[in-house]
Structure 1
Amino acid sequence: MMKIYSGPLCIFGHACRIVMQEKTIEHETVYAKPGEMVEHLAELNPYGETPILQDRDLVLYGATLINEYLDERLPHPPLMPIDPVGRGKARLVIADIHRDWLKNVQRSMDLGTKLDKKTTDLIRDGLTAMAIQLEGKKYVLGEEFTLVDCYVGPLLWRLPMFNLKLPKQAKRLEDYGNRIFARPSFAKSLSEPEKEIRGI
Structure 2
Amino acid sequence: MTEPYAPTATATRPQAGQPSRLYHTPLSPFSRKVRLVLAEKRIEVELAEERYWEQGPELFRRNPAGKIPVLRHDGMLLAESQAICEYLDETVPNPPLMPESAAGRYEVRRLCAWFDDKFNAEATRPVLNERVWKKVQKTGYPDSRMVKTGLAAIKAHIDYMHSLLEERRWLAGPSLTIADFAAAAHFSCLDYISDVDWDRSDLVRQWYATIKSRPAFRGVLADQVPGLHPAPHYAQLDF
TM-score, normalization by structure 2: 0.74
Quote the Cα distance in structure 2 between the aligned partners of 1:86 and 1:15: 19
* Residue identity (%): 25
1:3–1:28 contact (8 Å) kept in structure 2: yes
* Correspondence 1:125 to 2:156: yes
**Alpha-carbon deviations, 1:34-66, whole Å to 9, x = none?**
445722111101232210011243212111111
How many residues are treated as equivalent by the alignment? Answer: 199
What's the counterpart of residue 8 of structure 2? none
Quote the Cα distance in structure 1 between the aligned partners of 2:162 and 2:212: 16
Question: How big is the alpha-carbon RMSD for the aligned residues of Structure 1 and Structure 2?
Answer: 2.4
Q: Which runs of 5+ in 1 are unaligned?
A: none
Which has a greater percent of helix? 1
Structural mapping, 1:90-169, within 5 Å: 90-104=108-122, 105-106=124-125, 108-110=127-129, 111-112=133-134, 113=142, 115-135=146-166, 137-160=168-191, 161=193, 163-166=195-198, 168=200
Structure exhibiting the larger radius of gyration computed from Cα positions? 2
1:192 partner SS:
coil
Alignment counterpart, residue 92 of structure 2, candidates 58, 71, 74: 74
What's the counterpart of residue 31 of structure 1? 49
TM-score, normalization by structure 1: 0.87
1:3–1:54 contact (8 Å) kept in structure 2: yes
Q: Which runs of 5+ in 2 are unaligned?
A: 1-18, 135-141
1:12–1:63 contact (8 Å) kept in structure 2: yes
1:128–1:166 contact (8 Å) kept in structure 2: no
